[in-house]
Amino acid sequence: MRNHAQIVAIVILFIVAILGYFLFIQNRGPEFTFEENQTDTIIDTHTMEEINTTDGTKHSIPLNEILSGGPPKDGIPSIDDPKFLSAEDAGFLAGSDVGLGLSIGGEDRFYPYQILVWHEIVNDTVGDTPVLVTYCPLCATGIVFERKVKGEEQEFGVSGRLWQSNLLMYNRGEEESLWSQVLGEAVVGEHTGEKLAVVRSSTVRWEDWKREHPDTKVLSKDTGAVRVYGQDPYGDYYTNESVSFGASFSDTRLHPKAFVLGIEVQNQFKAYHKDALPEGETKDSFAGVEVVISKNSIGEVSMSVAGEELPYVGGFWFSWLAVHEETELYK
């Protein structure tokens, strides 16, 4: 009798799962499909980028370079109602675990990569600031953006598509577009050419972040999804030399998976090998300006030009080089 009850329970759970999947498919919106036919081109005078229109679809990257990453649209579920723990209650984290540290208005938060590797996007609000916390495991790009488009708050999801091995996000709702995470810019759809404002964050180890920010909140594993948090599906990918999903690499200056911080100044690009930056202050001349770089004892980095904060993007060297071929390198 007990075995019979267990079998019935399993069958019921299976039926519920199937029904839930079909409801998810119906409600997630259409897949992105691309066919390059007749294309018209204009130049965005603000960014000096080409914006093309193919069969009514605006885009700034070749449509045939957009690849499927495997899971469908929203198959990697964003976290849209994040829950947080105190540092004392985050016992699931080891001191060496890495994540994104974020400080806004005196409020500190830590987003562990062992959770982000399964979700890639967190739609969050810190104080009064709506933020888009993103992580692309293939490129090690952990970037936080202000979650606004044309001044309006937006929610983002994982499109299931990749460009140059990098996450393509999409904004939900009207005028849905694809956004390159590494560029922080819409590359397909009505918003093509628009950029998201970068919010400074740091890729750091948990023990270091906790020591410097003892009152930090930590993203909880209570995400609403069932995942094996603490196990990384990418194995030794982070240290080997392989690149994939449309990206290629032949540069000899650094290992393709070396971690760099990339900047843009007056439409010119430069990457700084993070390990080459000493603790303290470094001054560098680039694009006719002086870039001041500060790195503290736990590896948090800030950059500025003439006293104004300079946003940067942290990630693998191959990823930065794939989208900024003409880049200088500080190593």
The answer to whether 225 touches 285, Cβ cutoff 8 Å, is no
Burial of 200 per CB tally in 10 Å (0-12, 13-18, 19+): middle
Report if residue 316 sits inside a domain.
yes
Taking residue 234's Cβ as centre, other Cβ atoms within 10 Å add up to 9
224 occurs within a structural domain: no
Please indicate, yes or no, whether residues 187 and 252 belong to a single structural domain of this protein: no
Same domain for 126 and 55? yes
Identify whether residues 204 and 252 lie together within a single domain: no
Q: How far apart are CA 123 and CA 131, in angstroms?
A: 6
For residue 254, give its domain range.
248-330
Q: Which amino acid is at 18?
A: I
Residue 83 corresponds to which amino acid? Answer: K
Q: How far is CA 184 from CA 31, 313, 331, in A?
A: 21, 9, 24
The answer as to whether 196 is a domain residue is yes
Q: Same structural domain for residues 185 and 252?
A: no
Q: Are residues 54 and 181 in the same domain?
A: yes
Question: Residue 117 falls within a domain, yes or no?
Answer: yes
Considering its fold, how many domains does the chain have in total? 2
Residue 300 lies in a domain: yes
Same domain, 213 and 311: no
Q: What pLDDT was estimated at residue 49?
A: 60
Co-location of 113 and 159 in the same domain: yes
Evaluate whether residue 124 is within a structural domain.
yes
pTM: 0.86
Q: What confidence score (pLDDT) does residue 174 get? A: 83
Structural domain ending residue among the three candidates 204, 219, 234: 219
**Is the domain of 202 the same as that of 298?**
no
Q: Which two tokens stand for residue 268?
A: 């010119």
- pLDDT value at residue 31: 59
Q: What is the pLDDT of residue 28?
A: 46
Residue 294 host element (H or E): strand 289-295
Residue 271 lies in a domain: yes
| Same domain membership, residue 270 and residue 196 | no
User: How many percent of the chain have pLDDT more than 90?
Assistant: 82
Element (DSSP H or E) covering residue 326: none
Q: Are residues 213 and 255 in the same domain?
A: no
Residues 281-313 as b or e (16 or more Cβ within 10 Å = b): ebebebeeeebbbebeebbbbebeeeeeebebb
Q: What is the DSSP string of 250-262?
A: ---SS-TT-EEEE
Which helix H or strand E contains 236, and what residues bound it? none
Is 72 part of any domain? yes
* pLDDT value of position 292: 98
Same structural domain, 293 and 202: no
Q: Are 71 and 164 found together in one domain? A: yes
Tell me the pLDDT of the chain (331 aa) as tens digits. Answer: 445 544 444 444 444 344 444 433 444 445 555 555 555 554 443 444 678 888 788 999 999 999 999 999 999 999 999 999 999 999 999 999 999 999 999 999 999 999 999 999 999 999 999 999 999 999 999 999 999 999 999 999 999 999 999 999 999 988 999 999 999 999 999 999 999 999 999 999 999 999 999 999 999 999 999 999 999 999 999 999 999 999 999 999 999 999 999 999 999 999 999 999 999 999 999 999 999 999 999 999 999 999 999 999 999 999 999 999 999 999 8
